[in-house]
Structure 1
Amino acid sequence: MKPLLKTLSLVLMSMVLASSAWSAPVDVYGVKFDEQVEMRGSNLLLNGAGTRFKGPFKVYAAGLYLGKKVSTPDEVVALPGPKRLSITMLRGIDAAELGKLLTRGMEDNMGKAAMAPLIPGLIRLGQMFADHKNLVAGDSFTVEWIPGTGTVLTVKGKVQGEPFKEPEFFKALMWIWMGPVPADWKLKDQLLGLK
């Protein structure tokens, strides 16, 4: 009977260790991304996480959270339910410049015709970042899609103004990182869980 108990104990300990390893946060240059987060009553899974490089410099770490794991940009946008892109700066940056880079990233991936209806939102987005002056290493922001509400931007833990209602605005934002001309090809693959 004792060998059976010992075997069962070992099996249980292995299961506990395996489950705790699975739920251990993913570390991206010191930024921790939990494997699961709760958002408005929904459990979201870390689809992928990685780093945005500009030349040899690490700019920020990003993690994409979805209701289930997917591997294409179209699946990210089409997936129902809440979604979150969480970004933590790894170096300081002028926040107004970051806002301009985000707008340029949307234009590069959507085309000017598709961007025309989003211009009021782009102006608001630029102003939201300009109001912060600078983002330093450790500062974070999130882009969240909340069904029935829209896209909510949170910078340094504070919600920035009213949600962007148009689903196209969320897609345009996601295309900065996952569109045909992403900010960083390696980061695109990392967010999509391909690397």
Structure 2
Amino acid sequence: MTRLLQATLLSLLLSFTASAQTTVGGVQVESQLDVESHSLQHYGSGIRSKFFFKLYVGSLYAEQAGLNATQLLSGEHNVAVSLDIISNKITSERMRDTIEEGFEKASAGNMAPLRERLDSFVAVFDEKIEIGDQFLMFANDQGQLLAYKNQQLLTTVEGADFAQTLFAIWLGEQPADDKLKSKMLGN
């Protein structure tokens, strides 16, 4: 009887663990990320599409559950956005241009305070981008943004204002994609 109970409990545990992960656009999305000694919980994920092309899976993670977009953008919480590339339409040049356009829109054209840091940040996209690449941008509550490509730290950018503007591309008042924003927020 004890072995049967143990086998049943193990089976339930394994099925719970498997159901904690989801697949979006062919990308395995983790229910939790550990970044710089912080455990971040998955809020939601969606596919960024443009002109009928599926480009990447955008996923949102935060240390604290139940926050809305405004709270997530406040700079007071540990938050991460993951971009998993699913299209060969994403190139280094297009990604840099897209980030530049996103900053222009998210900052309402007030790029001067961000320009030097943005020029440094877009170097994250200098190397060739391929299907399967993952970019992770982690904003900590200390006012730093850490950018990774395929789990390798590429740069750290100082200033909560920078992270707020970057994340506003996906979560701001006028996001690049309303549907993606909703999915990332778990709606």
Structure 2 stretches of 5 or more lacking a match?
none
Kindly provide the amino acid, as one letter, of the partner of residue 103 in structure 2: M
More moved, 79-88 vs 185-194: 79-88
> Counterparts of 1:86 and 1:178 in 2: how far apart (Å)?
13
Cα deviation code 1:45-72 (max 9, x no counterpart): 1011111001211000111110123352
Which of 43, 65, 73 is residue 77 of structure 1 equivalent to?
73
1:53/1:60 contact within 8 Å kept: yes
- Report what 1:68 is aligned to: 64
What is the SS of the residue equivalent to 1:112? coil
* Structure 1: 5+ residue stretches without partners: none
Is the alpha carbon distance of 1:153 and 1:174 closer, same or farther for their aligned partners in structure 2, counting shifts above 3 Å? same
Q: What is the one-letter code of the residue matched to 1:85? A: V
Corresponding residue number in structure 1 for 2:154: 160
Q: Which has the larger radius of gyration?
A: 1
User: Is the counterpart of residue 119 in structure 1 residue 112 in structure 2?
Assistant: no
User: Alignment partner for residue 39 of structure 2, among 40, 43, 46?
Assistant: 43
Greater fraction helix: 1
For 1:91, the equivalent position in structure 2 comes to 87
Tell me the matched-pair count.
186
Scaled by the length of structure 1, the TM-score of the pair is 0.83
- Hey, what's the Cα distance between the residues in 2 that align with 1:99 and 1:170? 16
Distance in 1 of aligned mates of 2:154 and 2:13: 41
After TM superposition, the structure 1 = structure 2 runs for residues 24-43 of structure 1, keeping only pairs within 5 Å, are 25-43=21-39
Query: What secondary structure, in the 3-state scheme, does the structure 1 residue paired with 2:73 have?
Result: helix
Counterpart among 101, 105, 110 of residue 104 in structure 1: 101
CA deviation vs aligned residue, 1:58-100 (integer Å, no higher than 9, x gap): 0001111101233521121237442211111011222122111
**Deviation sequence 1:134-158 (CA, Å, 0-9, x none):** 3111111111113336101112333
* 1:177 aligned partner: 170
TM-score normalised by L of structure 2? 0.86
- 1:19 paired residue number: 16
Please list every run of at least 4 consecutive aligned residues from structure 1 whose deviation after the TM superposition is greater than 6 angstroms: 8-11
Structure 1 residue 138 corresponds to structure 2 residue 132 = yes
Matched residues, percent identical? 25
- 1:85-137 Cα offsets, whole Å, 9 max, x none, are 11110112221221111111121122123x321110111123332x21x3111
